[in-house]
C-alpha cells in the first residue's frame, strides 16, 4: 500500500489527537483519493465529526471505515490464536488483514489516549497490513503505554494481544459523523469594541474547562482549552494564534505560559501586540519585558509603572508602607481590559514575571483592592482575584499597567 501523505504525517506529529473537526482545514487541499487513503490507513487517528468533514471535502462516505473497537478486533480471524498463545506474528508475516486490524488498534490507542507514545500513530505507513519496522515500533509503544515487557520484542504475541484488547476496551470509538462539537463559550458578540473583545476572549479561554473556546479571526479558526496554558503541556503540538504565532508544546518541556496567554488574547482581539521572530514562527515578549514593548505599540497607553528594586541589589525589593501604598494606588486604577505585568524578585530572566488581564475591577470596599484577572497559572488558565496580599511586601518588584485606548 502507498504511504500516508507527508502533509498528514506532519499534521499528526504537531497536533493533539484525536484529530477532531477543528483541524480539518489543513486537509482542504488534498484530493479525494488522498482523503480515501487517509481514511483507509489512519481512520483510527481521527475524532468526532471528522468523517462528515471528509465527506464535505470530497471523500465518498462509503470509503470511510468505522473506527475499530475491542470487540471487533477480538473477532478478527486469527486474533483468538494470539490471545490463546498458539500464534505470534513477526516481520514478514503474510496475514495482512489481521496485521491491518492490529495496526488500527495501535492507532486507536494513540488517538484516544492523551500523551500516548507517538510510535502508536504509525505515522508513515499507517494501517497498511505490513509487519515492518514501523509495526515493531508501534508494538514497543503499546508496551510502553501498557507498562509491561516481553522477552522477544521482535514479535507480536499473546501479552501484546491481551494488552491491546484491554486498553482498547476502556477507550470508546468516536462518532465520526456526529455534528461538529463547538465550545460552550463562543466568540465575543458582534459589535463589541476592543476592550469588550479582550475581556470576553480572556474569560472564554479561562472558562473552557470541558469544551474548547472557539473563535474565527481573519478567516482562520482557533480553538483553545484552559489547560493549553498550564505549565505542564496538555497536548503535544503547536499552540497557534493570529499573526504567525506558534509555540511548540511538548511533554517534558514545561514552562510558564502567562505571557503566551496574554498575547494570544490580544492577538485574537485584533489589537496591536508586540512579537519577535523565532524560527518560522513569532513569539511574544517575556512577561517582564512585555509591558515596555506593549507601551510602544499603537493604541496602548502606560497607565502606571512602578519599580521597587533596591538600587544596591536589583534582585531584591525595597519594601515598606510607601511601596505598599503605591501598589494600592495602582490596583485602584485597574479596569476591565487592562493588561497588568509584574516582575518577580531574583536575577533577570531567572523566574520571570507574570501577565494578567483584568476582567473585573476591584469591588467597592474590598480591603484587598483585588481586581479579577484572567491569567495562566500552574495548571491552566483561570480567573482569580489578586490584590494587596499577593502583590505587596516585595512579592513582586516591578509593575506595568497598560490600557488600550485606540
DSSP result, 329-355? HHHHH--TT-EEEEE-SSSTTTS-EEE
The domain tally of the chain equals: 2
Check whether residue 128 and residue 199 sit in a common domain.
Answer: no
The pLDDT value recorded for residue 188 is 59
Indicate if 241 and 374 belong to the same structural domain: yes
| More confidently predicted of 174 and 67 | 67
Instruction: Specify the pLDDT at position 28.
Output: 67
Distance of CA 149 to the CA centre of its chain: 31
DSSP annotation of 289: H
Instruction: Give percent above pLDDT 90 in the chain.
Output: 66
Taking residue 37's Cβ as centre, other Cβ atoms within 10 Å add up to 21
**Mean pLDDT of all residues belonging to the chain:** 89
Residue 185 is assigned to a structural domain of this protein: no
- Residues 165 and 20 occupy one common structural domain: yes
Do 155 and 121 belong to one domain?
Answer: yes
Instruction: Indicate whether 91 pLDDT > 90.
Output: yes
pLDDT digits (tens, 9 = 90+) for 252-283: 788 899 999 999 999 999 999 999 988 778 99
Q: Do 154 and 275 fall within a single domain?
A: no
User: Which of 153, 169, 185 is where one domain is finished?
Assistant: 169
Question: Both 108 and 60 in a single domain?
Answer: yes
- If asked whether residues 21 and 165 sit together in one domain, one would say yes
Neighbours of 354 (CB within 10 A): 24
pLDDT higher than threshold 70 for residue 181: no
Asked whether the CA dihedral 11, 17, 23, 24 is positive or negative, the reply is: positive
* Intra-chain end-to-end CA distance of the chain, in Å: 57
Average confidence (pLDDT) over 129-135? 97
> In terms of residue numbers, what domain contains 95?
6-169
Percentage of the chain lying above the pLDDT 70 cut: 92
Lowest mean pLDDT among 134-143, 155-164, 179-188, 273-282: 179-188
Within this chain, do residues 217 and 304 fall inside the same structural domain, yes or no?
Answer: yes
Which DSSP symbol is given to 207?
A: T
20, β-bridge pairs: none
pLDDT, position 351: 57
127 and 200 share one domain? no
Q: Which residue has the higher pLDDT, 378 or 48?
A: 378
pLDDT of residue 184: 40
Confidence band (pLDDT; 50, 70, 90) for 58? Answer: confident
- Regarding whether 206 and 125 lie in a shared domain, the answer is no
Split at pLDDT 50, 70, 90, the class of 349 is low
Q: pTM for the full model?
A: 0.57
Phi, psi of 294 (to 5 degrees): -65, -35
Model pLDDT, residue 385: 92
pLDDT in tens, 310-347: 888 888 888 889 999 999 999 999 999 999 999 988 77
User: Domain for residue 179, yes or no?
Assistant: no
Q: Is 123 helix (H, G, I), strand (E, B) or coil?
A: coil
Tell me, yes or no, whether 210 and 323 share the same domain: yes
Does 259 reside within a domain? yes
Give the residue from 374, 113, 376 showing the smallest Cα distance to 232.
Answer: 376
Within-domain flag for 222: yes
Asked if residues 274 and 378 have their Cβ atoms less than 8 Å apart, the reply is: no
Q: What is the DSSP letter of 296?
A: T
Asked if residue 33 is part of any domain, the answer here is yes
Amino acid at each position: 500500500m502507498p504511504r500516508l501523505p507527508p502533509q498528514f504525517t506532519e499534521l499528526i506529529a504537531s497536533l493533539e489527537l484525536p484529530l477532531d473537526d477543528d483541524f480539518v482545514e489543513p486537509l482542504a487541499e488534498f484530493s479525494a483519493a488522498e482523503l480515501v487513503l487517509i481514511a483507509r490507513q489512519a481512520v483510527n487517528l481521527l475524532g468526532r465529526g471528522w468523517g462528515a468533514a471528509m465527506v464535505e471535502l470530497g471523500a465518498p462516505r462509503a470509503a470511510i471505515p468505522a473506527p475499530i473497537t475491542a470487540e471487533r478486533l477480538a473477532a478478527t480471524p486469527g486474533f483468538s490464536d494470539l490471545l490463546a498463545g498458539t500464534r505470534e506474528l513477526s516481520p514478514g508475516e503474510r496475514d495482512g488483514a489481521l496485521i491491518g486490524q492490529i495496526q488500527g488498534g495501535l492507532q486507536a490507542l494513540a488517538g484516544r489516549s492523551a500523551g500516548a507514545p507517538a510510535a502508536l500513530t504509525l505515522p508513515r505507513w499507517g494501517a497498511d497490513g505490513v509487519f515492518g519496522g514501523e509495526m515493531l515500533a508501534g508494538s514497543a509503544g503499546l508496551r510502553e503505554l501498557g507498562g509491561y515487557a516481553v522477552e522477544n520484542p521482535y514479535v507480536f504475541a499473546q501479552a501484546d494481544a491481551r494488552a491491546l484488547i484491554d486498553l482498547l476496551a476502556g477507550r470508546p470509538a468516536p462518532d465520526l459523523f456526529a455534528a461538529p462539537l463547538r465550545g460552550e463559550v463562543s466568540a465575543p458578540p458582534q459589535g463589541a469594541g476592543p476592550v469588550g473583545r479582550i475581556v470576553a476572549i480572556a474569560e472564554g479561554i479561562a472558562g473552557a474547562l470541558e469544551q474548547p473556546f472557539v473563535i474565527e479571526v481573519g478567516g482562520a479558526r482557533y480553538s483553545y482549552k484552559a489547560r493549553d496554558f498550564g505549565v505542564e503541556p496538555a497536548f503535544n503540538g503547536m499552540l497557534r494564534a493570529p499573526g504567525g504565532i506558534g509555540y511548540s508544546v511538548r511533554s517534558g518541556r514545561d514552562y510558564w505560559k502567562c505571557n503566551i496567554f496574554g498575547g494570544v488574547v490580544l492577538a485574537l482581539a485584533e489589537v496591536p501586540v508586540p512579537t519577535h521572530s523565532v524560527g518560522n514562527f513569532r513569539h511574544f515578549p517575556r512577561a517582564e519585558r512585555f509591558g515596555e514593548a506593549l507601551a510602544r505599540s499603537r493604541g496602548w497607553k502606560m497607565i502606571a509603572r512602578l519599580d521597587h528594586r533596591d538600587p544596591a541589589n536589583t534582585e531584591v525589593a525595597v519594601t515598606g508602607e510607601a511601596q505598599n501604598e503605591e501598589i494600592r494606588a495602582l490596583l485602584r486604577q485597574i479596569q476591565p481590559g487592562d493588561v497588568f505585568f509584574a516582575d518577580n524578585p531574583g536575577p533577570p530572566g531567572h523566574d520571570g514575571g507574570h501577565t494578567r488581564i483584568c476582567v473585573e475591577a476591584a469591588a467597592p470596599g474590598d480591603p484587598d483592592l483585588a481586581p479579577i484577572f484572567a491569567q495562566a497559572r500552574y495548571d491552566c488558565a483561570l480567573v482569580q482575584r489578586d490584590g494587596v496580599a499577593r502583590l505587596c511586601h516585595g512579592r513582586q518588584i516591578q509593575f506595568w499597567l497598560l490600557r488600550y485606548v485606540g
